[in-house]
Homo-oligomer: A and B are copies of this chain.
Amino acid sequence: MTAESLEIHLASRPVGWPTAENFALVRVPVPTPGPGQVLVRNQLISVDPYMRGRMNDAKSYVPPFEVGAVLEGGAIGAVVASEADGIAPGDLVLHGKGWREYAVVDAASARVLDPELAPVSAYLGPLGGNGLTAYAGLLEVAAMKPGETVFVSAAAGSVGSLAGQIAKLKGAARVVGSAGSAAKVERLLALGFDAAFDYHDGPIRESLRTAAPDGIDVYFDNVGGDHLEAAIGALRTFGRAALCGAIAQYNATEPTPAPRNLAAVITKRLTLRGFIVTDHAALSGQFLREMSGWLRAGELRYDETFVDGLENTPDAFLGVLRGENLGKMLVRV
């Protein structure tokens, strides 16, 4: 009897919003690790909006997912067999081979986690790529300074909620967040945001003006489109926008409305800068020290939304795109 493993494959490329037909649950034999590799049984799989981009056949900063191949992403699991020095069965590892039950992982790209230091799921959230994205985007890309006013969109998401809290911890005078429901707005206020609004409640421009009547200095953009236009309108002279994501556009089949007020980028001497977390790996050490300190001290909190069952990973992913998550969306395998 050969043991079997379930995987989620990309069955076809989505056009617009992904549907169930774009994914296939496939049964394969459990693979065998080669020299320098480990076999991991996944426990937690990360689903993130950026994965939508990789489902298109478009040149970008990472190659597109292949049709007929497994979808990959951040995951944590227990090593069940090891052909690598320094990693033993039972070790919990963080790696990039998600969306399947069993994964063969090169030891060099697996990171052994110490579950005594933090709940392991934190390594897919505040202590992982999401945390570094928030930290680098705010402090390096947007160069936020103490005393400034910061606006974060998709602020109840895994990156946004961290960005807003880091801003406060780093001395922002005022932090404003936008989110997609009244419950999320309440949560943002509980997390220490000075003001928050539901972007469904009216023109973003007006909601932002109410929340930050004197304007903003920094915009952490996870949305693009009308959020970015409103932020450009609100940014003060020498303001900066860190462009992290554009979830408003990921499923668009037509070009989406673009900010029509780019002339203000000149008159107000604004800087709009796109970034990708992997370019900021040099910050990792400083980030981990600060972030783990804040977590230990209870000064920074993070939310997680769990979906159970590998077969529900596509649904969890669609849920993130629809904003059904509070904080980090994770699949428990």
Note all chain B residues with C-beta closer than 8 A to A243: 262, 265-266
Report how many copies the assembly holds: 2
From the candidates B261, B269, B272, name the one contacting A265 in the complex (CB within 8 A).
Answer: B272
**Docked complex Cα distance between A270 and B53 (Å):** 18
Nearest to A259 among chain B residues (CB) is: B258
Q: Are B261 and A245 in contact (CB under 8 A)?
A: no
* List of B residues within 8 angstroms of A269 by Cβ: 61, 273-276, 279
Q: Indicate if the CB atoms of B279 and A266 lie closer than 8 Å.
A: no
By the criterion of a CB under 8 Å from any partner CB, how many residues of chain A are at the interface? Answer: 34
CB of A61 within 8 A of CB of B262, answer no
> Which one of B255, B259, B267 contacts A61 once the chains associate, using CB atoms below 8 Å?
B267
Chain B residues whose C-beta falls within 8 Å of the C-beta of A253 in the assembled complex: none
Chain B minimum-CB-distance residue to A246: B263
Q: With an 8 A cutoff between CB atoms, is A224 at the interface?
A: yes
A27 within 8 A of partner (CB): no
Contact of A260 among B256, B263, B273, B276 (CB under 8 A): B256
Expressed in whole angstroms, the minimum distance between the Cβ of A256 and any Cβ of chain B is 7
Within 8 Å CB of A245, what residues of B? Answer: 266
**A215 vs chain B, min Cβ distance (A):** 12
If the complex has contacts A259-B258, A262-B258, A262-B259, are A60 and B267 also in contact, measured as CB distance less than 8 A? yes
Question: Would you call B271 and A273 a contact (CB within 8 A)?
Answer: yes
Q: Quick check: is A132 within 8 A (CB to CB) of the other chain?
A: no
Nearest CB on B from A143, distance (A): 12
4 cross-chain pairs, A with B, having the tightest CB-CB distances, nearest first = A255-B260, A258-B258, A266-B274, A265-B274
